[in-house]
Structure 1
Amino acid sequence: MEKYTFPKGERLCSKRLITGLFHHGSSFFVYPYRITAMAVETQGPKVQVLLSVPKRRFPLAVHRNLLKRRMREAYRLQKAELLYPFIEKQTHGLVFAIQYVGREILDYQFMHTRMADALMRLQNETLCLHLNI
């Protein structure tokens, strides 16, 4: 049985990597997400992810936390089959940020299916990122 975990090592916490990601990474939209990704050479985990919901669009922390929980769950359940087999074949690691850009709180089923679309598109974008290193 496969473990669907999201450990601390897979969360993007390094300020240096985060600033580099937003300054030098490439981005694309899959509604309701904006994905910014950058290929890196890493000794730690091959994939690190940052999830964020803007305070400007959702001033109540309850709503931001709800959306982050839904995003985290959708990513956690799909990463093992959609992202990891592809990344394990690559020589470089990947850091990326998933930002929620929708204006309203969407239901979990829609967010789940769109996360799958975003991860599939991330595979295509990752090929371009690895070629540019």
Structure 2
Amino acid sequence: MSSKFPKKERLKREILIRRLFEEGKSITSYPLKLIYLPVHSPAEVKIQCGVAVSSRNFKSAVKRNRIKRLLRENYRLNKEKNFNNIEGSFAFLFLYLGKEMPRYEDVERHMKVILKQFLIKISNEDPVK
């Protein structure tokens, strides 16, 4: 995997996003929450990822977009370290649950915690075939 976040790795299909909320499992490291779901997708993409910020907590679109940018950037920088040897395909959705503007360092710390917890969880579960 490259350290980019190309279009094919972005989670955009409404059906898949709906399935994530209905069937997905979650990991929380406040103020971040990861909802993930094993999916059957083309072998070229191991993980499709999306980010979301509540408009209830952040009325300003500028602030929501800044938080989403922070989440995407931290995911992009940490995915290569964590997902080189992952088996199967997954859909990810990162939610920001906090009510105040995050600092980059806080988002980075919680992102690393969540990704490590995810790897531990999937290594203990049976792979989807």
Return the TM-score normalized by structure 2. Answer: 0.90
Deviation at residue 103 of structure 1 after TM alignment:
1.1
Unaligned runs of 5+ in 1: none
Structure 2 Cα separation of the partners of residues 106 and 120 of structure 1:
21
Paired letter, 1:97:
L
CA change 1:31–1:86 in 2 (3 A) is farther
C-alpha contact (below 8 Å) 1:39/1:126 kept by paired residues: no
Whole-Å Cα distance in 2 between the matches of residues 85 and 104 of structure 1?
A: 33
Flag structure 2 segments of 5+ consecutive residues without an equivalent. Answer: none
In structure 2, the partner of 1:122 is: 118
2:109 is the alignment partner of 1:113: yes
Query: Aligned equivalents of 1:51 and 1:98: distance in 2?
Result: 5
C-alpha distance 48-3 of structure 1, shift in aligned 2 (>3 A): closer
> How big is the shift at 1:127?
3.1
For residues 72-104 of structure 1, the C-alpha deviation after alignment (integer angstroms, 9 at most, x for no partner) is 11111111012x2232xx1x2011110000111
Aligned to 1:33: 32
After superposition, the C-alpha distances for 1:38-92 in whole angstroms (9 at most, x for unaligned) are 111111511001101010100001110110111111111111012x2232xx1x2
Distance 2:24 2:126 in 1: 12
Structure 1 residues 60 and 129, CA gap change in structure 2 (3 angstroms)? farther
For 1:28, give the aligned amino acid: I
One-letter amino acid of the counterpart of residue 5, structure 1:
K
RMSD of aligned alpha carbons: 1.8
Identify, as 1 or 2, the structure richer in helix.
Answer: 1
Secondary structure at 1:56 match in 2: coil
SS of residue paired to 1:86: coil
Q: How many residues align?
A: 128
Residue equivalent to 2:63: 63
In the TM superposition, residue 129 of structure 1 has moved relative to its aligned partner by: 5.2
Contact 1:12 1:18 in 2 (8 A): yes
Amino acid at match of 1:26: K
Q: How far 1:34 moved relative to its partner?
A: 1.0
| Distance in 1 between residues matched to 2:48 and 2:80, nearest whole Å | 13
